[in-house]
Amino acid sequence: QHAHELLIKGGTVVNAHHKEVADVYVEDGIIASIGPNIVQVGDEVNIIDATGKYVMPGGIDPHTHLEMDFMETATIDDFFTGQAAALAGGTTMHIDFVIPINGDLSAGFESYVSKAKKSVMDYGFHMAITKWDEAVSKDMEVMVKEHGINSFKFFMAYKGALMINDELLLHGLERCKSLGALAMVHAENGDAVAEGQKRMIDLGITGPEGHALSRPPILEAEATARAIRLAGFVNTPLYVVHVMSIDAMEEIAKAKKSGQRVIGEPVVSGLVLDDSWLWHPDFTTAAKYVMSPPIRKAGHGEVLKAALSAGILQLVGTDHCTFNSTQKALGFDDFRKIPNGVNGIEERMHLIWDTMVETGLISVTDYVRITSTECARIFNIYPQKGAILEGSDADLIILNPNASFRVTSASHHSRSDTNVYEGRTGKGKVEVTISRGRVVWEDDTLKVTPGLGRYIKMKPFSYLFDGIEKADAAYLASLSAPVQRSRASS
Amino acid sequence: QHAHELLIKGGTVVNAHHKEVADVYVEDGIIASIGPNIVQVGDEVNIIDATGKYVMPGGIDPHTHLEMDFMETATIDDFFTGQAAALAGGTTMHIDFVIPINGDLSAGFESYVSKAKKSVMDYGFHMAITKWDEAVSKDMEVMVKEHGINSFKFFMAYKGALMINDELLLHGLERCKSLGALAMVHAENGDAVAEGQKRMIDLGITGPEGHALSRPPILEAEATARAIRLAGFVNTPLYVVHVMSIDAMEEIAKAKKSGQRVIGEPVVSGLVLDDSWLWHPDFTTAAKYVMSPPIRKAGHGEVLKAALSAGILQLVGTDHCTFNSTQKALGFDDFRKIPNGVNGIEERMHLIWDTMVETGLISVTDYVRITSTECARIFNIYPQKGAILEGSDADLIILNPNASFRVTSASHHSRSDTNVYEGRTGKGKVEVTISRGRVVWEDDTLKVTPGLGRYIKMKPFSYLFDGIEKADAAYLASLSAPVQRSRASS
Amino acid sequence: QHAHELLIKGGTVVNAHHKEVADVYVEDGIIASIGPNIVQVGDEVNIIDATGKYVMPGGIDPHTHLEMDFMETATIDDFFTGQAAALAGGTTMHIDFVIPINGDLSAGFESYVSKAKKSVMDYGFHMAITKWDEAVSKDMEVMVKEHGINSFKFFMAYKGALMINDELLLHGLERCKSLGALAMVHAENGDAVAEGQKRMIDLGITGPEGHALSRPPILEAEATARAIRLAGFVNTPLYVVHVMSIDAMEEIAKAKKSGQRVIGEPVVSGLVLDDSWLWHPDFTTAAKYVMSPPIRKAGHGEVLKAALSAGILQLVGTDHCTFNSTQKALGFDDFRKIPNGVNGIEERMHLIWDTMVETGLISVTDYVRITSTECARIFNIYPQKGAILEGSDADLIILNPNASFRVTSASHHSRSDTNVYEGRTGKGKVEVTISRGRVVWEDDTLKVTPGLGRYIKMKPFSYLFDGIEKADAAYLASLSAPVQRSRASS
Amino acid sequence: QHAHELLIKGGTVVNAHHKEVADVYVEDGIIASIGPNIVQVGDEVNIIDATGKYVMPGGIDPHTHLEMDFMETATIDDFFTGQAAALAGGTTMHIDFVIPINGDLSAGFESYVSKAKKSVMDYGFHMAITKWDEAVSKDMEVMVKEHGINSFKFFMAYKGALMINDELLLHGLERCKSLGALAMVHAENGDAVAEGQKRMIDLGITGPEGHALSRPPILEAEATARAIRLAGFVNTPLYVVHVMSIDAMEEIAKAKKSGQRVIGEPVVSGLVLDDSWLWHPDFTTAAKYVMSPPIRKAGHGEVLKAALSAGILQLVGTDHCTFNSTQKALGFDDFRKIPNGVNGIEERMHLIWDTMVETGLISVTDYVRITSTECARIFNIYPQKGAILEGSDADLIILNPNASFRVTSASHHSRSDTNVYEGRTGKGKVEVTISRGRVVWEDDTLKVTPGLGRYIKMKPFSYLFDGIEKADAAYLASLSAPVQRSRASS
Ligand SMILES: [Zn+2]
Ligand SMILES: [Zn+2]
Ligand SMILES: [Zn+2]
Ligand SMILES: [Zn+2]
Ligand SMILES: [Zn+2]
Ligand SMILES: [Zn+2]
Ligand SMILES: [Zn+2]
Ligand SMILES: [Zn+2]
């Protein structure tokens, strides 16, 4: 299909700040105009009728792991299958985590550039920091200034592997601040997790349920509270990935109330699932729910959804990180060896719509905010992404609120042979997905071309950094220090 | 000045969702286009250079009392002087409270229509509900459906005058919900305030300090908590006017975290002043700070600002309600007779900029959000107001962040002979104010024409009502009730 | 049995402040000595071997309604059967609520004096205040100074019947403060409850589940918060009866943390039951769980127990208020007519032991504190009651931690034909109960004599009032008011 | 003075659980009887008239550092002068911290045994843990089982010196749990403190004010939250020493509300001072207030006192750790070298009485609870200490509420040449102090004999450990794990 022009007629066009019935005209992958009754310009314009449907910015998934080497294996979805799944579910961009190679950021970056060559939609990169030395510190600057990375993630868990201690975290936070890059944390107390794992094994609890039992919410809350306070001490914004528990959310809520800039990212599995699956007698079934931090007991999800509706938590990710059942089986005798991760990149948009919009928790504009706009603003690519405004990229979806969806591994687009949402149905269906002006999903059919996905560079100093310097200056001015003193005195 | 066209060049155009350097072109009072390097169309275009300055939506003040009969007198600023002051301070719209006449809504409305004839800028109306009967209930519908009012205010204080009890508040909340109107509350426990006042008088504390002492934060928190819970019980959005204390803010924060839709409005006096003035030995000085709820002890303002920066509180008002020193002197012997109210409509935009943007608490986009956009969204007039988008009203200001402002009653535009911000200076200056395309404030000079201000009708069912019905339905579906039972049993 | 002397040998004697293995010697109903190896004095001493068991102060139930006229009927347990049940369960004193007759306190008091003539154990009285006038205010003084009542209860619910408004509550709190009497509240928002009931009936939900649905936790929290703040405003201690929800507990916790003197009383039904029974298809079964505030959803009880273990909540009552199934059936067609109340006076001690001591939540000394000592201290009868000290009344129990109990209406001592704990079993058994030196329960057999129970007068100004005057004085001294001002100024 | 018998007549005898007017008879250092009108037995009985005064258990200070080597010097008060000061201020026992020598517990213990030989009153020991290996772990058992130590302290600050990391803290907590010993923490994030110190030095802030600025409350709260959660994870009681900030207290309050066993110990300096002194232009004056965590801004003390009154915090210590002005001057050029510590052992009882009892915050029984009884219970020496009961040690004070005290370094008994409470006066005066039956302080005169102080062994498994095993068992029983699974599956 060739058409460079596209006209979407009669839908309710939704932005995070407003919704209205309007037409949307797209030219060369860019939104050219929005308004009532746009008249068709040329012959080749592809016209889509969206009457009675919502035209929204495509979803942006802030948290994915495609083709990642992890726990002696690699995630089974790569930049082709993972993105294909995304598009089929209404997500038109994702931000993946570059993992350094032996701590080397540049090597890691090159590796991901290569992995991403087969991309079928736009994507960006975060980068993990897994050790600390001068080279790492310098490479961070290179990543920010040359390679379009504006966020770095620190692991407070995975002892002996990715985990960093408080001293390094402090250095990392300070470095991020000076570069205008957003610090992200995987927040669990890794020392205690290791103790908890040992405790379970000692108790003979070696199955998937041991995974949840070994790292309870208290350990997530601890690390979340610690990261928040250290970021507050440094005065730099913080992004907490995969907020899974009420306990962690409460820490974020408290910090935000005091004016601190903390972003909390729940993931869809934490919002709509509970940990009872981990007790399933069938190992394959139980193991597919193993991720870290663990999916929590029933009740956490509802509270997280409320916090999300209120803006206490700000956007929804997936932590899409898939392993098939053969891979999961590596941990049959020891849950510590089950590769951690669940799917979600294809299901996120549908599940959030069904459990939050259809239940009245949030408005349609809120939906756009938490699935797309907020992510674009945080990672400083708004309004290129995350909006339906003139000049924005034409990453769009058309959602029919009266249609319904059904999830099953038989029909999903991930390469995984299982799906943690197996059998789930709900209201609302992404009927059309448009990636930079091209219709890539329609009539339940994908039309994608490897290599057409672009890497989106993300500039530092997003809105989260506005005023940080002024606040620092005001702080210094408030100290009434140093006090002048002479040695001779009473 | 005739020019129907206006071109603002080179400024940083700020919306709540984004800022960018761009030109803004205005035609017939409407924003016609925004973009880089807009070329002048005709000869008569008035060109304003905004290089190095911020072009922002004019402020919207959600809370004013112009020409209001109150406490045996009337506020001294009317729709001309109050609005003139507003424009000089960068506020281009306000929403005033219609007070019923002997409880009669229609009579009250007519009276305000008449008062507002001299308007020099756009305005809207809230309406107070001061008694309850069938007529009131019916008139509410008339107001909403015919007169463009979409918010009603209930007083939990002013015992014996405006105060309503819980039964009536419940009826009011339910009525608001059915009409899609936003319920607002003045939240203080009126019974306890009356006790507190008596206590102070009995102690011989008859001066302005007695005002603050008679109605401590605990009474504001009580009523705020009560209104929130009753609104939660009815499941309708709630707007708490003039949040003055940490205690009340905490109640709002708690409710929001749980997903309840509660809007908290701090006012500028509560953010930047403290109650020490009420102890001033000069009565005139002390009395000018008397308002309800009272301005609180030092410390409250900073916490409220933090909550505002975080979105826990959502917008800033003034409760502009001015009395001159002669009027305030009515209460020389008894603080209960001091007319309650302070100025602020002219100072709000400057003070918020200076104390929140210049200190690094918020970004420039946040500034637009809390002074203008959020108000427009809440009262359902966005994006006609509160945005710089094509098609929006050209209510604009140009703020020079490098200039400075100074407040004094000698030069302010209010008719009052005092100013609670007397002598205050700060950074940031509104150099130009544009009302529906006309430059009304420039070179420290007002150019206004009585009668040019329009009444802005506000439609019910704002975004705050999205999903309410679905949530109600989900609630009912969750009850597992009624249970079927037969009489013969066990 | 005649023996005036009693020697309990070898048990672990438990007080709230300490436990030790010791003998206890009782003479004429009074504890004469405690110590290791007390040697038998005379021949007629009744010796009880308590080796391996706990000797503890008998339970004191702060909240019962024996022979109370309520909702067109009367509670089925009177001062004989109710107390017999109490003794069989290890409770040796209770405090019942005198209900005024048409608001007349003296008439109410006389009526209860008469009802209590058949008492088989010691008891005290609280008094309800159901209307307000000069006579009531004066009678309160009579009750305190002449009749040994030191607590008054105010109902914030039961609209149209017992409910009082905030103005009267404020007067009541002030009156209590001046008399040194403890103000108690039944905390639910009665106006909203009435709305909630109407809502349920309108929905066709007329069964017992409608009772719970009509008065959710939010309404309990609202009234609890209100009462606490009004008591704080008056600066007098407050006792919140039957704290049933997390929401209400949180309000108490917040107030206590700030130093306010608030006592929270959970009741055993709220600690160990949940509301699922109200959905039981058998009306008789469902109806027996109807009480106000309602028993809450699963989860509340655990959190309340934690708060109790921490001293956030201070003592456990029952609100024993029994109606048999015929009486409950009055509300078959309308839950509003189901007499409110559950049993518990016989089960409290066992259930608290089993669910709190046996689970490790609290220590044995804590157990004595929450079931007996704290009640005695709050109502100012310690150490006559609530302690095993020389000179204390010999109200004692011997609990065997290795025996077990079983609850069933077939064997309980209440006159009711149902029991809300039907079939429940657990560890720990009260094997012996001693009332003022007489063994009244032993070998599962009661030996009681109507008329032997004494009325225990309770003096005002308990420890909760210590320092109140000083705090008031400090408050006044802190006001820096009145400020001296002359009229000529500025 | 020889008298082995002592009769204190007519005072109000105060225990934590009760107060009453009574006589107290003491024989051979032990309280022999308490009651009204005790008749003098022999001729040699020393009779003290306490009419109109309070007879209370002597204070127990849970937190002192006598003759401690620290920061290149040693505290100037030893077991003679420090205890003399204690007795003059109404404190009759203290618990000091044994510091291991190069991590060796036994060597440290021997050293302190030697230091304590000159003791003039009873004392006990905590022990610090400053490194971790098998020897330390084994020595802990020796200390508990042979040497009467039942508490171990871990430092989360003092990086490079005493600080331990989370892994070691977890091991320490588990070891403490198994031994029935109470884990204590100095809670500040040492990594961040080091950063903060460097930051201040880089800013040229080298004076005492830099001490406070380098380690703000957020770092205390962080470590407090972390220690609490790790203790919760291990399920063992935790004691947080010197709670100095609202932020830390809130963490304790939250944990307690959930049922966790956490003891918070504020110290008198944190309750009654504020950090403004650290800005004093005279170095000697400013430096005397340097302690860690720092004394906080005005406002913290009041909130901590409220929490203490409510039982959220449970007892008051001093962290008495004195250096004279010459020693403090070691840090003239660098606040990091100012020896940390303030006095308080002599002033604690008076200051708490004056600021908490005289202001109405707490009752006299509460006073005994927080200054003596709670400490004795926590460290498992009640009722030998902390009570006026028959058989208790006769460690007593007589406090005259109508007399007044005055603090000055000219007259205090510490060897320090400064006093952080210099010039402070207040109501309430300890007129007599009795140590194990001997009058050691009377008429403002000390009568003490080095060597008469005894070492009080403290047994493990205090009441804080009651139920821990049951709770662990209940937890395990609740896991529904391990799940049985076979390898072959769907
Ligand atoms: Zn992660
Ligand atoms: Zn991840
Ligand atoms: Zn108002
Ligand atoms: Zn107002
Ligand atoms: Zn009740
Ligand atoms: Zn009751
Ligand atoms: Zn320390
Ligand atoms: Zn110390």
Q: C319 C-alpha vs ligand 6 centroid, how far in Å?
A: 5
Q: Is the pLDDT of residue D1 over 90?
A: no
Q: Rounded mean pLDDT of B361-387?
A: 98
Amino acid identity of A218?
I
pLDDT of residue C1: 46
Backbone torsions φ then ψ of C152, nearest 5 degrees: -130, 135
Q: Which residue of D has its CA nearest to A484?
A: D281
What are the DSSP calls for A294-329, one per residue? Answer: PP--TTHHHHHHHHHHTTSS---B--B----HHHHG
The shortest CB-CB distance from C360 to any of D253, D382, D469 is to D469
* Residue % of chain A over a pLDDT of 90: 95
Among D166, D275, D328, the residue to mutate for chain A (most A Cβ within 10 A) = D166
**Mean pLDDT in chain D?**
96
Cβ-defined contact of D479 to A216 (cutoff 8 Å): no
* Residue % of chain C over a pLDDT of 70: 98
Backbone torsions φ then ψ of B429, nearest 5 degrees: -145, 130
Instruction: Measure C309 CA to nearest chain D CA, in Å.
Output: 6
pLDDT of residue D434: 98
Instruction: Measure A237 CA to nearest chain B CA, in Å.
Output: 13
The pLDDT-based confidence of B486 (bands split at 50, 70, 90) is: confident
Amino acid identity of B328?
K
pLDDT of residue D44: 82
Q: C100 C-alpha vs ligand 6 centroid, how far in Å?
A: 14
Q: Describe chain D by its helix, strand, coil percentages, rounded to 5.
A: 35, 25, 40
Q: Is the pLDDT of residue A61 over 60?
A: yes
pLDDT of residue A490: 47
Question: pLDDT digits over C431-483, tens only?
Answer: 999 999 999 999 999 999 999 999 999 999 999 999 999 999 999 999 999 99
Contact at 8 Å (CB) between A120 and A95?
no
Instruction: Please report the number of interchain residue pairs, chain A to chain B, with beta-carbon separation below 8 angstroms.
Output: 109
pLDDT of residue A488: 56
Preceding omega of C482 cis (within 30 degrees of 0): yes
A9, burial (CB in 10 Å: exposed 0-12, middle 13-18, buried 19+): middle
Q: A472 C-alpha vs ligand 7 centroid, how far in Å?
A: 30
Contacts of B346 (CB under 8 A, 6+ apart): B85, B86, B88, B89, B91, B412, B413, B414
Q: Rounded mean pLDDT of A334-362?
A: 98
Preceding omega of B217 cis (within 30 degrees of 0): no
Q: Read off the pTM.
A: 0.97
> Which chains are within 8 Å of A by 3+ CB pairs?
B, D
Q: Rounded mean pLDDT of B241-267?
A: 98
Cβ-defined contact of C305 to D259 (cutoff 8 Å): yes
The shortest CB-CB distance from D361 to any of C361, C362, C467 is to C467
pLDDT of residue C488: 56
What are the DSSP calls for D255-304, one per residue? Answer: HHHTT--EEE--BHHHHH--GGGGG-SSHHHHHTT--SSPP--TTHHHHH
What ipTM goes with this model? 0.97
Query: How many of the other CB atoms lie within 10 Å of CB of D333?
Result: 11
Q: C153 C-alpha vs ligand 6 centroid, how far in Å?
A: 10
pLDDT of residue B1: 46
The rounded distance, in Å, linking the Cα atoms of A379 and B446 is: 42
pLDDT of residue B308: 98
Cβ-defined contact of A166 to D192 (cutoff 8 Å): yes
Distances (CA, A) of A431 to A22, A74, A92, A443, D218: 18, 32, 14, 7, 49
Q: C254 C-alpha vs ligand 5 centroid, how far in Å?
A: 22
Instruction: Measure D341 CA to nearest chain C CA, in Å.
Output: 28
Question: pLDDT digits over B114-155, tens only?
Answer: 999 999 999 999 999 998 899 999 999 999 999 999 999 999
The pLDDT-based confidence of D488 (bands split at 50, 70, 90) is: low
Categorise residue C113: left if φ over 0, alpha if ψ from -120 to 50, beta otherwise. alpha
Cβ-defined contact of C361 to D467 (cutoff 8 Å): yes
Q: C320 C-alpha vs ligand 6 centroid, how far in Å?
A: 7
Ligand nearest to the CA of D63: 8
pLDDT of residue D4: 78
pLDDT of residue B490: 47
Amino acid identity of A152?
F
Instruction: Please report the number of interchain residue pairs, chain A to chain D, with beta-carbon separation below 8 angstroms.
Output: 143
The pLDDT-based confidence of A44 (bands split at 50, 70, 90) is: confident
Q: Is the pLDDT of residue B439 over 70?
A: yes
Instruction: Measure D489 CA to nearest chain A CA, in Å.
Output: 6
Q: Is the pLDDT of residue D364 over 50?
A: yes
Nearest to B482 by CA among C297, C277, C213: C213
pLDDT of residue A457: 98
pLDDT of residue C285: 97
The pLDDT-based confidence of C3 (bands split at 50, 70, 90) is: low
Q: Is the pLDDT of residue B368 over 60?
A: yes
Q: Which residues surround ligand 7, an ion (CB under 5 A)?
A: D 186
Rounded-to-10 torsion of CA A267, A269, A273, A274: -80
> Which chains are within 8 Å of B by 3+ CB pairs?
A, C
Q: Is the pLDDT of residue C489 over 60?
A: no
Chain A residues touching residue B365 (CB < 8 angstroms): 463, 466
What are the DSSP calls for D107-167, one per residue? Answer: HHHHHHHHHGGG-SSEEEEEEEE-S-SHHHHHHHHHHHHHS---EEEEES-STTTT---HH
Q: Rounded mean pLDDT of B370-380?
A: 98
Ligand nearest to the CA of D187: 7
pLDDT of residue B43: 75
Backbone torsions φ then ψ of B98, nearest 5 degrees: -75, 130
Among C154, C195, C262, C422, the residue to mutate for chain B (most B Cβ within 10 A) = C195
Question: pLDDT digits over B61-86, tens only?
Answer: 999 999 999 888 999 999 999 999 99
Question: pLDDT digits over D99-135, tens only?
Answer: 999 999 999 999 999 999 999 999 999 999 998 899 9
Instruction: Measure B404 CA to nearest chain C CA, in Å.
Output: 28
Q: Which residue of A has its CA nearest to B466?
A: A363
pLDDT of residue B488: 57
DSSP tag of B117: G
Question: pLDDT digits over B448-461, tens only?
Answer: 999 999 999 999 99
The rounded distance, in Å, linking the Cα atoms of D31 and D24 is: 7
Q: Is the pLDDT of residue A185 over 60?
A: yes
Nearest to C247 by CA among C317, C194, C304: C304
